[in-house]
């Protein structure tokens, strides 16, 4: 894989998809439909998916592509593939809360190794460089010119005063019960894969997810977090969270900075 090219392509497609998403986000009204699993989908999801999937297939025709919005790709299998959630946080989009992202990642040998997470309504972009290090880009986000970048890294957590981030739309008692095992200084709520990025930048220390997610929800954020020195493990036995599973469904998991003294499930 040409990682330099991949970085450029993923970043550009994320920005192009973000422009289309924000165009629809700015409309007075937009249609919301339900998919077979009753999750919502909008014209923004579908338009962003077309931009990204067409672009990836043109640039990397020999690499398996899995994308949330194309069910035909969900029956493919392999441990190395590109994986896309064109609009992660559709509920945040519908309710105009801004915490939605464009997620594009490369999984190699079951591990997310490169990725981009772009939050167009928040003007935040995180991605892995060709060498695997994660950065946050600031500036105007020009399509063909990368703006100022800073390397990001996880915190050195204080286990007597942890910063916890949890889901805005999927918070439940099981999550609160697990968080209660830690000495928590403060809690943040965030939507979509931004939760991984808040750990990657050191703005939070741990994100437990006791609920259903799919690999396209997590791969890009996982890659960004790994490139910043963090990791994601299974909730039940603390083994590695691997990708390319049957039906691309994730078990419960914990994303964290390695200095966190993890508690048992």
pLDDT tens-digit profile of 124-180? Answer: 999 999 999 999 999 899 999 999 999 999 999 999 999 999 986 667 899 999 999
Mean per-residue pLDDT for 244-256?
Answer: 96
Q: What are phi and psi of 240, to 5 degrees?
A: -65, 140
Q: Kind and range of the H or E element at 104?
A: strand 101-108
Closest-CA residue to 82 (of 232, 251, 216)? 216
Closest-CA residue to 220 (of 110, 70, 114)? 114
Domain boundaries, the chain: 3-151, 162-256
Q: What are phi and psi of 232, to 5 degrees?
A: -130, 130
Give start and end residues of each alpha helix (H) in the chain: 3-25, 43-59, 90-94, 173-179, 194-200, 215-227
Fold for domain 3-151? Fructose-1,6-Bisphosphatase; Chain A, domain 1 (3.30.540)
> Which CATH number applies to 162-256: 3.40.50.11740, 3.40.50.300, 3.40.190.80, 1.20.140.10?
3.40.190.80
Q: Would the annotation count 237 as a binding residue? A: no
Q: Would the annotation count 90 as a binding residue? A: yes
Q: Would the annotation count 201 as a binding residue? A: no
Q: Would the annotation count 85 as a binding residue? A: yes
Total-model pTM? 0.95
Q: Would the annotation count 2 as a binding residue? A: no
Condensed to tens digits (0 to 9), the pLDDT of residues 34-80 reads 776 667 778 899 999 999 999 999 999 999 999 999 988 998 889 99
Instruction: Give the pLDDT score at 34.
Output: 74
């Amino acid at each position: 894989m040409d990682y330099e090219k991949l970085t450029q392509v993923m970043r550009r497609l994320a920005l192009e998809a973000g422009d289309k998403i924000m165009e629809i986000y700015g409309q007075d009204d937009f249609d919301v439909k339900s998919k077979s699993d009753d999750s919502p989908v909008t014209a923004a999801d579908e338009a962003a998916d077309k931009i990204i999937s067409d672009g990836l297939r043109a640039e990397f025709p020999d690499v398996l592509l899995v994308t949330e919005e194309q069910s035909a790709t969900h029956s493919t299998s392999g441990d190395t593939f590109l994986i896309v959630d064109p609009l992660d946080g559709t509920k945040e989009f519908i309710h105009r809360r801004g915490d939605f992202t464009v997620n594009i990642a490369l999984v190699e040998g079951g591990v997310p190794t490169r990725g981009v997470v772009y939050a167009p309504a928040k003007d935040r972009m995180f991605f892995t460089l060709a060498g695997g290090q994660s950065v946050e880009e600031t500036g105007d986000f020009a399509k063909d010119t990368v703006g100022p970048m800073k390397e990001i890294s996880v915190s050195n957590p204080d286990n007597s005063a942890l910063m916890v981030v949890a889901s805005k739309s999927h918070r439940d008692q099981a999550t609160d019960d697990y968080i209660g095992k830690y000495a928590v200084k403060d809690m943040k709520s965030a939507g979509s894969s931004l939760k991984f990025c808040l750990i990657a930048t050191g703005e939070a220390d741990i994100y437990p997810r006791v609920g259903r997610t799919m690999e396209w929800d997590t791969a890009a954020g996982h890659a960004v977090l790994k490139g910043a020195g963090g990791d994601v493990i299974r909730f039940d036995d603390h083994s590695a969270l691997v990708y390319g599973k049957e039906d691309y469904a994730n078990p419960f998991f914990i994303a964290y900075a390695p200095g966190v003294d993890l508690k048992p499930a």
